[in-house]
Amino acid sequence: MVKFTQIVRAFINGIARSKLSLVGATMTTASFPILLIGILLELFGVIHNQYFGFVLYMFVAPAFIIGLVLIFLGLFFFKGKEDVSVFTHEYLSEKLSVPENFIKVRKLIFLATSLTFINVFVIILLAYTGYHYTESNEFCGQLCHSVMEPEYATYSNSPHSRVKCVECHIGSGAQWFVKAKLSGTRQLVAVVAKSYATPIETPVHGLRPARDTCEECHRPELFHGDKLYVKDKFLSDENNTHVQTVMLLKVGSGGYQGSEAHGIHWHVAEENRITYTHSDWEREEISQVTLTKPDGTKVVFDKHDGAVPPEQQTYTREMDCVDCHNRPTHIYKTPEDAIDEKLLLGAIPTELPYIRKIGYELITREYGSHEEAKDKIATELRAWYRLKYPGVVNNNMPMLDKAVSGVQAAYLENVWPKMKIGWNTYRSLRGHQGNSGCFRCHDDEHETSAGETISMDCDACHIILAEDEANPKILETMQGI
Ligand code: HEC
Ligand code: HEC
Ligand code: HEC
Ligand code: HEC
Ligand code: HEC
């Protein structure tokens, strides 16, 4: 007759006999307490270290699960088999045939269920906290620090700094979840193997269609009206003269409550499906644009002299938010915008003669690293003012110090030599910088067979009320001055 204690012993023997199970048991026993305490510390927010979660979920948790699997394999398929499965079979058939012994069987079942229960509980806890961990900003943006530093820094300075990375990069739904985890795993490997591209390639061709993600929060078909757009600039003269461009941007709507789609957001209307063919990875060279109307009629705009040789590969894409808002959060400024913003905010004092000119010159030089840039900007700027304006700076050292940190910041927030991100590596498509952006299609060169073109008329998108004027009248009128 087989005793209950014997079956426990058989399990232990089985584990001891099979090397596989032994390794598994060691892994599980060692990782279990670390895991449990670690998860609790994480859940209650005791530990805020980005590496803690990484070690916990990427090493300890897999060790625990692999350990369990090894124990099981060893016991039922390898050496431990003789001890356990034969034994269990014998034990059960013996006990089940004698009604008085049912209590023993119950004990065994109780033991087995509680062990399973504990394991299942830990695994569910793991799945839950591990899932939240891999969806967190710290995992996406901070862990691979040097690689993601530019994306994280620009994101943190942007209007979307409260939106989690995953809300744009993954969105909801199981299909994209799986895709994202697979590509995430690939990226982790790339970071470890240092096989990632510098700069990180963009546009991100695997990005989920933006309408699925952006429209969780935004409704561009709503009427946004005309948006007053004021752009502040500073001239490179002695006084760093402040000038402004003022215009009305015709943002419009995608058709809302009976109003017709119009203005810039006309493209996102339900009834306007726009696809385009481009011949380069960057989507700059657009050879054909097709507008499909709800009744199925197509309007095709071809760029004749930009015709692609038939052997060259082309790509087709449906236009969405990211064809204009490609930089909603990873916003890299142009050097002009970067320095002008610091002047406008007062981070660089405008009283310092020629600071716009010298600052701009310094930030557009090539530096090997952030440290080098900081050093050189500081020494050069100080040297220049000591030489040219000793009177101004000797009486006001704090002003020069402020200017130094302002100019440094303009550089540090936009350029990362380590990731080969220079000025204009990642350009915005929202306007028409350097004939890109809107002018990829709106260039009067994409024509239908009837000779209609996609308009390049300056007033189609905005009405310019003042251009590079100091104290524009229109703003004074609006402010009632
Ligand atoms: C508001 C939406 C949004 C949020 C939030 C967001 N991203 Fe992005 N991200 C984008 C878009 C859009 C692109 C570029 C699309 C394109 O041009 O292909 C992008 C591009 C990237 C790229 C490729 C490099 C580049 O700049 O083009 C990386 C890497 C990246 N994001 C990482 C992150 C990380 C890490 C976070 C969180 C810290 C994050 N993103 C948060 C929308 C977002
Ligand atoms: C989780 C919600 C959320 C998602 C997803 C999201 N946004 Fe936003 N977005 C916001 C919020 C909130 C603001 C306003 C921020 C503020 O004004 O402080 C904003 C602001 C904006 C603005 C105005 C920015 C400005 O300069 O004033 C634009 C444009 C925009 N989002 C585009 C996008 C695009 C394109 C996407 C998809 C790639 C997207 N958003 C995804 C929440 C979201
Ligand atoms: C054809 C280019 C284009 C497309 C496509 C486009 N937008 Fe815009 N959108 C603009 C421009 C230009 C502005 C005005 C500048 C700004 O506020 O960023 C704007 C403004 C906005 C604003 C701010 C409105 C305000 O009142 O301040 C939001 C939010 C926005 N867009 C979201 C979206 C979303 C979401 C999509 C995709 C469904 C989208 N846009 C598609 C060009 C576009
Ligand atoms: C992929 C090509 C493409 C890009 C990029 C593009 N557009 Fe368009 N846009 C079109 C097409 C096609 C039309 C329809 C032209 C027509 O029917 O005559 C259009 C029409 C318009 C209209 C007129 C809408 C109306 O009321 O009829 C405006 C305004 C406009 N675009 C603004 C913009 C702005 C601003 C940008 C850049 C931020 C931009 N577009 C980028 C393809 C594009
Ligand atoms: C297809 C739409 C479209 C057309 C056509 C267009 N623009 Fe623009 N333009 C824009 C948008 C959108 C912006 C805003 C860019 C931004 O959000 O930063 C802009 C910005 C500008 C600015 C301010 C840029 C700056 O940073 O100083 C000027 C100046 C300008 N446009 C001039 C023109 C002139 C001149 C024409 C005619 C040749 C023209 N635009 C045609 C869409 C258009």
Distance in angstroms (rounded) separating the CA atoms of residues 55 and 132: 15
Q: What backbone torsions phi and psi does residue 301 show, to the nearest 5 degrees? A: -105, 120
Are 363 and 337 in contact by the 8 Å Cβ rule? The answer is: no
Mean pLDDT of 343-365: 96
Q: What backbone torsions phi and psi does residue 383 show, to the nearest 5 degrees? A: -60, -45
The residue nearest atom 38 of ligand 2, judged by CA position, is: 214
Please give the share of the chain, as a percent, with pLDDT higher than 70. Answer: 93
123-151 per-position pLDDT tens digit? 888 888 888 887 888 777 777 767 888 99
Tokens of 187: 């990226």
| pLDDT of 190 over the 90 cut | no
Mean pLDDT of 366-393: 94
Write down the pLDDT at residue 11.
Answer: 74
CA 152 – ligand 1 centroid, Å: 9
Tokens of 362: 């310094």
Ligand 2 pocket, residue 188 CB under 6 Å: no
Question: Chain-wide mean pLDDT for the chain?
Answer: 86
The residue nearest atom 20 of ligand 3, judged by CA position, is: 251
228-237 per-position pLDDT tens digit? 999 999 999 9
Ligand 1 pocket, residue 163 CB under 6 Å: yes
Assign 3-class secondary structure to the chain: CCCHHHHHHHHHHHHHHCHHHHHHHHHHHHHHHHHHHHHHHHHCCCCCCHHHHHHHHHHHHHHHHHHHHHHHHHHHHCCCHHHHHHHHHHHHHHHHHCHHHHHHHHHHHHHHHHHHHHHHHHHHHHHHHHHHHHCCHHHHHHCCHHHHHHHHHHHHCCCCCCCCHHHHHCCCCHHHHHHHHHHHHHHHHHHHHCCCCCCCCCCCCCCCCHHHHHCCCCCCCCCCCEEEEEEEEECCCCCCCEEEEEEEEECCECCCCCCCCECHHHHHCCCCEEEEEECCCCCCCEEEEEEECCCCCEEEEEECCCCCCCCCCCEEEECCHHHCCCCCCCCCCCHHHHHHHHHHHCCCCCCCCCHHHHHHHHHCCCCCCHHHHHHHHHHHHHHHHHHHCHHHHHCCHHHHHHHHHHHHHHHHCCCEHHHCECCCCCCCCCCCHHHCHHHHCCCCCEECCCCCECCCCHHHHEEEEEEEECCCHHHHHHCCC
Are 75 and 8 in contact by the 8 Å Cβ rule? The answer is: no
Residue 147: count other Cβ atoms within 10 Å of its Cβ: 19
Give the Cα-Cα-Cα angle 277, 279, 284 (nearest 5 degrees).
85
CA 72 – ligand 1 centroid, Å: 43
Write down the pLDDT at residue 79.
Answer: 64
Residues with CB under 6 A from ligand 5: 231, 245, 249, 430-432, 438, 442, 456-458, 460-462, 467
416-460 per-position pLDDT tens digit? 999 999 998 999 999 998 889 999 999 999 999 998 999 999 999
Write down the pLDDT at residue 411.
Answer: 97
Write down the pLDDT at residue 192.
Answer: 73
| pLDDT of 85 over the 70 cut | no
Using 50, 70 and 90 to split pLDDT, how confident is the model at 51? Answer: confident
Write down the pLDDT at residue 81.
Answer: 63
**pTM (two decimals):** 0.85
What is the maximum alpha-carbon separation in the chain?
A: 106
CA 454 – ligand 4 centroid, Å: 7
User: Of all atoms in ligand 1, which is nearest to the CA of residue 140?
Assistant: 35
| pLDDT of 84 over the 70 cut | no
246-277 per-position pLDDT tens digit? 999 999 888 777 778 889 999 988 888 999 99
Write down the pLDDT at residue 276.
Answer: 94
User: Which of the pair, 435 or 301, is modelled with greater confidence?
Assistant: 301
Determine the 3-state secondary structure of 254 from DSSP. Answer: coil
The residue nearest atom 1 of ligand 2, judged by CA position, is: 163
Least confident residue range of 52-56, 150-154, 286-290: 52-56
Are 423 and 415 in contact by the 8 Å Cβ rule? The answer is: yes
Write down the pLDDT at residue 289.
Answer: 95
Write down the pLDDT at residue 406.
Answer: 97
Write down the pLDDT at residue 201.
Answer: 80
Mean pLDDT of 196-221: 82
User: Which of the pair, 311 or 165, is modelled with greater confidence?
Assistant: 165
CA 279 – ligand 1 centroid, Å: 23
| pLDDT of 314 over the 80 cut | yes
User: Which of the pair, 169 or 6, is modelled with greater confidence?
Assistant: 169
The residue nearest atom 11 of ligand 5, judged by CA position, is: 431
Please give the share of the chain, as a percent, with pLDDT higher than 90. Answer: 43
CA 366 – ligand 4 centroid, Å: 37
The residue nearest atom 2 of ligand 4, judged by CA position, is: 441
Write down the pLDDT at residue 3.
Answer: 66
The residue nearest atom 16 of ligand 4, judged by CA position, is: 454
User: Of all atoms in ligand 4, which is nearest to the CA of residue 453?
Assistant: 18
81-97 and 61-77 helices cross at what angle (nearest 10)?
70
| pLDDT of 49 over the 80 cut | no
CA 17 – ligand 3 centroid, Å: 67
Mean pLDDT of 306-332: 87
393-406 per-position pLDDT tens digit? 888 899 999 999 99
For residue 199, whether the previous peptide bond is cis, meaning omega lies within 30 degrees of 0, is yes
| pLDDT of 331 over the 90 cut | yes
Determine the 3-state secondary structure of 123 from DSSP. Answer: helix
CA 432 – ligand 5 centroid, Å: 6
